[in-house]
Structure 1
Amino acid sequence: MQYAKKKFGQNFISDKNLIKKIIDILDQESNQLVIEIGPGKGALTKELVNRYKKVIAIEIDRDMEDILKSEVNSTKLELIIKDCLEVDFNELIENNSFKKVSIISNTPYYITSEIIFRTLNISKKLDKAIFMVQKEVAQRICAKANENNYNNLSIAVQLYSEIKYEFTVNKNMFKPIPKVDSSIISLKFNDTNLKKLNDDDLKFVSFVRKLFNNKRKTILNNLASFTNNKEDALKILNEVNIKESLRPENINLDEYIKIYNEVKKC
């Protein structure tokens, strides 16, 4: 029997109804590539290869290799034993000629943000992504302006996709049982907001992250730290009709895009 390893943040699921409910969120068109991050013992993988033409499963734990090969005996499966943060996803997608590509992940809690940001970086090549994350993290990602959990990750995800909080997964559904509940979130990618930035998205995400460096400061003070000139910062905010007394968590995505586009003119 293979036990979960704490260092890899492993928590296994086996409930067939839950597995089906998660995979049902994906587009059901069979002719697509599905990249699974952290397949573990293959609970999701088994159902994925039944539904889709090609599944690439990326697993960091070498002890899972033989288990996965025995549990999921399918020519549709390509197994990569490697840290997902070291995998070139662009190359992976380019080497497989599919018009539709999706990502699904029972995301290791300790690298959730890194995986999501890496996914956003290749969003133009993706149709959808499904993540299982800690409930608290899901609430943060799905948060809107003026909500307590709202931060730069919330904005980044909204920039690239239509984000949806799908449902909560009780911690008792896992083995071993984690300390907190999890949530399923879905990201449906589109370029609606990217067009407003003229594809300057990576610089925009970095810009917003800097404005959230000190959430307790006003947007004026944070922007002044970026421009190195308080008068310029005030002029920019006046130009886009945003109150200088607001804080970073009070400003929505469209307003940040307006601020950024105005900054570029300076």
Structure 2
Amino acid sequence: MTSPVRLLGATDVRALASELDLRPTKRLGQNFVHDANTVRRIVRLAGVGPDDVVLEVGPGLGSLTLPLLEAAAGVVAVEIDPVLAGRLPATAAERAPERDLRVVTGDALRLAADDLPRAPDVLVANLPYNVAVPVVLHLLAVLPGLASGLVMVQSEVAERLAARPGEKAYGAPSVKLAWYADARRAGPVPRAVFWPVPGVDSGLVAFTRHARAAADVERAEVFAVVDAAFAQRRKSLRAALAGWAGSAPAAETVLRAAGVDPGARGEALDVDAFTAIARAGRRRSAAELDPRCGTWPRMP
């Protein structure tokens, strides 16, 4: 029979930090959760089950790692701090024996599928706000087997990731995450459950990857349109996409071909509309490059 898992409390977190002579740094976003109810809630909201292999980014001292090991078939933990990465296996052996933990020391922003000893299907992470968006987007891009996830981020970042068209927080991160997955806010996290106590509020974002039909346009092409649209978000798309298209009149031509109002702003468009713009831009470029084409190819 498998031994029960013993979670870390506030006293345990401070004792481990003292043992390691750890001084949490803002640069690495080191705010460690010490509340058992919070970590169990995160595991529950992430929907982690006994058949799942979880990718945890930034496990730190192991507060969240332990309940993940309790619930999942295995955990692959990616930790950039070599001191923390070196201590985590011992913490797991002491408090969650006979569970499958694999620790990878490295930067999640440089992670590739081949770097992982097991293929994960769920992402769970407590992410520093300054790298939260690029980490989530990078992992979804390089790990197509990630079917779902739950990330804890700064509250404002959570709003941006889960925002819908027309909402104040809607922007490039919202659209790019929507390219991969359906996202939603999953609740707040109080400051008091962290050590040291952060100066910002935190929130949870859950996502479920959706099947994206094969298209004649690449992700990078769509993201280029998104970046151009939100770089000047107060301008109409005709003006905001002028640099991307070559001129404002060219942008208007592309937008009309995509079925998008040139006077609209990027904040009003969903990911499918941005995809249509990228597709129309590609077809316009193809027509210009082909000397046989005096006009654009007929749009479907």
Residue 66 of structure 1 deviates from its aligned partner by 4.7
Larger deviation: 66-75 or 244-253?
66-75
Deviates more, 1:21-30 or 1:101-110: 21-30
Provide the rounded CA distance (Å) in 1 between the counterparts of 2:229 and 2:257.
18
Partner of residue 140, structure 2: 120
1:27 matches 2:47:
yes
**Are 2:227 and 1:209 equivalent residues in the alignment?**
yes
Tell me whether 1:45 sits opposite 2:70 in the alignment.
Answer: no
Residue of structure 2 aligned with 1:106, choices 123, 126, 133: 126
- Determine helix, strand or coil for the equivalent of 2:231: coil
Instruction: Identify which of 257, 261, 268 aligns with 1:243.
Output: 261
Letter in 2 for 1:228: G
Residues 1:7 and 2:30 are matched in the alignment: no
Would the alpha carbon gap of residues 41 and 155 (structure 1) be closer, same or farther in structure 2, given more than 3 Å must change?
Answer: same
User: What secondary structure is seen at the aligned counterpart in 2 of 1:197?
Assistant: coil
Cα distance, 1:196 vs structure 2 = 6.2
Matched, 1:82 2:102: no
- Once residues 76 and 122 of structure 2 are traced to their aligned partners in structure 1, the CA distance between those partners, rounded to angstroms, is 10
> In the alignment, what sits opposite 2:272?
254
CA 1:52–1:198 in structure 2 vs 1: closer, same or farther (change >3 Å)?
farther
Q: Is the 8 A contact 1:141 1:154 kept in 2?
A: yes
Q: What amino acid is aligned across from residue 254 of structure 2 in structure 1?
A: I
CA shift, 1:84, in A, is: 2.2
**Structure 1 gaps, min length 5:** none
In 1, Cα distance between the equivalents of 2:219 and 2:110? 23
Q: Distance in 2 between matches of 1:124 and 1:28?
A: 18
Residue in 1 that maps onto 2:292: none
2: distance between equivalents of 1:21 and 1:111? 23
Looking at structure 2, the residues matched to 149 and 26 of structure 1 have their Cα atoms a distance apart, in angstroms, of: 23
8 Å Cα contact 2:183/2:206 also seen in 1: yes
Residue pair 2:225, 2:274 contacting (<8 A) in 1 also: no
Contact 2:229-2:265 within 8 A present in 1 as well = no
1:121 partner letter: A
Corresponding residue of 1:91: 114
SS of match in other structure, 1:69 = helix
SS, match of residue 185 in structure 1: strand
Q: Secondary structure at the match of 1:188?
A: strand
SS across alignment from 2:277: helix
Structure having the higher Rg: 2
Q: Could you tell me how far 1:152 is from its partner in structure 2?
A: 1.0
Matches within 5 A, 1:110-189: 110-122=130-142, 124-189=144-209
How far apart are 1:200 and its partner, in Å? 1.8
C-alpha contact 1:58 1:83 (8 A) present in aligned 2 = yes
State the aligned residue count: 260
Which aligned segments of 4 or more residues in structure 1 are displaced greater than 6 angstroms?
none
CA distance in 1, matches of 2:86, 2:246: 56
Which of 233-242 and 135-144 deviates more? 233-242
Name whichever of 151-160 and 57-66 sits farther off: 57-66
Higher RCO (C-alpha 8 Å, min separation 6): 1
| TM-aligned CA deviation for residue 199 of structure 1 | 6.4
- Normalising by structure 1, what TM-score? 0.90
Contact 1:120 1:160 survives alignment (8 Å): yes
Q: Among all aligned residue pairs of Structure 1 and Structure 2, give the percentage whose two residues are the same amino acid.
A: 24
Change (3 A) 1:36 1:28: closer
> Scaled by the length of structure 2, what TM-score is found?
0.80
Are 2:217 and 2:275, in contact at CA under 8 Å, matched by a contact in 1? no
Which whole-Å CA distance do the structure 2 matches of 1:132 and 1:263 have between them?
Answer: 36
Shift in Å, 1:129: 1.7
Q: Deviations over 1:138-174 (max 9, x none)?
A: 1111111222211111001111101010000111121
- Structure 2 letter corresponding to 1:5: T
